[in-house]
Amino acid sequence: MNNLKRNLLIVTVLLAAVMELIDTTIVNVALSHMSGNLGATLEDTTWVVTAYAIANVIIIPMTSFLTAIFGRRRYYIGSIIIFVICSFMCGSAGNIWTLVIFRFLQGLGGGALLSVSQAVIFECFPKEKQSVASAIFGIGVFIGPTIGPTMGGIIIDNYSWPLIFYINVPIGILAATSCYFLLTEPSIKPTVNKVDWLGIILLAIGIGSLQTVLERGQTEDWFATGYITFLSVTTVISLTAFILWELHVPHPVVNLRVFKSKSLTIAAILTFITGIGMFTSVFLTPVIAQRLLGFSPTQTGFLLLPGAVIAIIGLMVSGKLIQAGLSPLIVVAAGFACFIFFNWNMSHINFDTSAHAITINLIFRALGMAFLTVPLTLLAVSSLAPADIPQGASLNNMMRQLGGAFGISAINTYAARRVAVHRTDLLANISNYNSEAVSRLNSLTAYFQHKGINAIDAKAKGVAIIEQTVIKQSAMLSYADAFFLIGLLFAVTLPLLLFVIRAPKNAAIGKMVISDH
């Protein structure tokens, strides 16, 4: 393959991966509009997000197996076609449950676009330039979820929500057409002698149940709801049986034996943590900006945009630096430091924080992602045999998605409980013995009386405003606590790198090597 065709193929598969990742977050700013348009509750509408996430996490670890069954070229192009058709059907849905069904099918089609795209990009570069390949793929991994809210905000503010799905159609058709002419089978083709149907069933039930519990647990008050308890038990039983079965059968649907690689295991853990930081920040920032600071969807989206642009530069620079011999330890440590600094700053957010300050903070978050993506992706596949790289890549990608789902669920629960704590603390200061509270209530009462409202109703309105202030302040403080917790998580897990990165005995080169011994 000549350089022109190689570059076109890289752009094509990267575009497909970005398209898939954009759809993980683009609907977040459109949920209220979908709810009103389709006559559904906001709670039911959140299944649009949940269904896609469940399908993604089920299919991602199976991509290596499905590639072996159907052939990479047919499976990849077929997945794009499924994604495009289901995107069109999502935009055309007339009721919420039709939308949820096609959203789930869209997620099944989109799952292949991540891991297979990564494998294709890695194959396009020689071994000594794998860091560049990792940086290029990292652009897609980072840009997709980051620009999703920006695109969604612009579309919602200026057009209508179906366009967030219709926009995939021309992009998908272009990608499928390009792959038809450019994509080939890998030089090393995995073979499947027997279909592991039990493994597929256990994986689908276990991961599907786990994802549902993580996505819906907080909304449904966790184990107070019968189906959450049932799915939690189902998750434990199914995934335990799945692990035991996959380690036993000679031809598993997911080759868990690759986790014998210490490099992959540590990379998967760190990628899980990175997924938590990546997705929770994209989740929390729009919530704070829109619900508490009063930003529009478009304004909220543009908060993330400068960081996305800088991240592209950071990804390429980090890839070049590693290729030139800079220690991966330094790059990863810098990435963790950026995430810790970002979360520390955001833990001090308040109602006087400007859009400019939030944007600057988000740039550090973007740099953190840029510095982590390349070395962690390299670490995941560094010690694997060529035939195992697609499986290792898909498992590592699954950990990122699971980290995001777990992180958002945990942060939702944590923030909800911190709201109650902060509300109690704030209300303790609002009494007849607090001169500032009494003065504030008297001022509000006088204001409403001046508007012609009687004294009793004026005081009631004043109390209601103070109550709303307490609610908003409690929410702001709880989200600040959430950012602090995430930053603490990054700080605690940073030492794990010491288990896989060691200095070579020949220190003359001054490099660090990734170890699997």
Calculate ∠ Cα 45-47-51, nearest 5°: 145
- Last residue of a domain, which of 252, 267, 298? 252
Domain of 226, in residue numbers:
196-252
Separation of alpha carbons 113 and 13, rounded Å: 8
Joined together, the tokens standing for residue 420 give 């109650």
Same domain? For 215 and 281 the reply is no
pLDDT at res. 192: 61
Give the domain-ending residue among 210, 237, 252.
252
- Those residues of the chain that have pLDDT short of 70 are 1, 42-43, 130-131, 142, 146, 188-195, 215, 218, 390, 500-517
* HSE of 147, CA atoms in CB hemisphere, 13 A: 19
Cα pseudo-dihedral 416, 419, 420, 422, rounded to 10:
160
202 in the same domain as 102: no
Please tell me whether residues 45 and 62 are part of one structural domain.
yes
**Pair 182, 243 in one domain:** no
- 408-435 confidence digits (pLDDT tens): 778 877 888 888 888 888 888 777 777 7
SS3 content of the chain, % helix, strand, coil (to 5): 80, 0, 20
Torsion of CA 125, 128, 129, 135, to 10 degrees: 120
In sequence order, the β-bridge partners of residue 513 are 502
Count up the domains in the chain and report the number.
3
* Final residue belonging to a domain, choices 194, 215, 231: 194
Do 132 and 36 lie in one domain? The reply is yes
Phi-psi region of 295 (alpha: psi -120 to 50; beta: other; left: phi over 0): beta
Short-list 274, 308, 277, 340, CA closest to 149: 308
Asked if 172 and 30 sit in the same domain, the reply is: yes
Q: What is the pLDDT at residue 407?
A: 82
How far apart are alpha carbons 217 and 55 in whole angstroms? 18
Q: Do 82 and 211 belong together in one domain?
A: no
Q: What is the pLDDT of residue 505?
A: 37
CATH of the domain at 493: 1.20.1250.20
Q: How far apart are CA 62 and CA 55, in angstroms?
A: 11
pLDDT value at position 42?
A: 61
pTM of the entire predicted model: 0.74
C-beta of residue 20 within 8 angstroms of C-beta of residue 137: no
Do 161 and 213 share a structural domain? Answer: no
Query: Do 169 and 275 reside in the same domain of the chain?
Result: no
Q: Distances in Å between the alpha carbon of 62 and those of 50, 125, 195, 242?
A: 19, 24, 12, 13
Are 274 and 390 part of one and the same domain?
yes
SS3 per-residue string spanning 230-273: HHHHHHHHHHHHHHHHHHHCCCCCCCHHHHHCHHHHHHHHHHHH
Q: Which long-range contacts (CB under 8 A, 24 or more apart) does 488-491 make?
A: 489/273, 489/276, 489/277, 490/273, 490/277, 490/336, 490/339, 490/340, 490/343, 491/336, 491/340
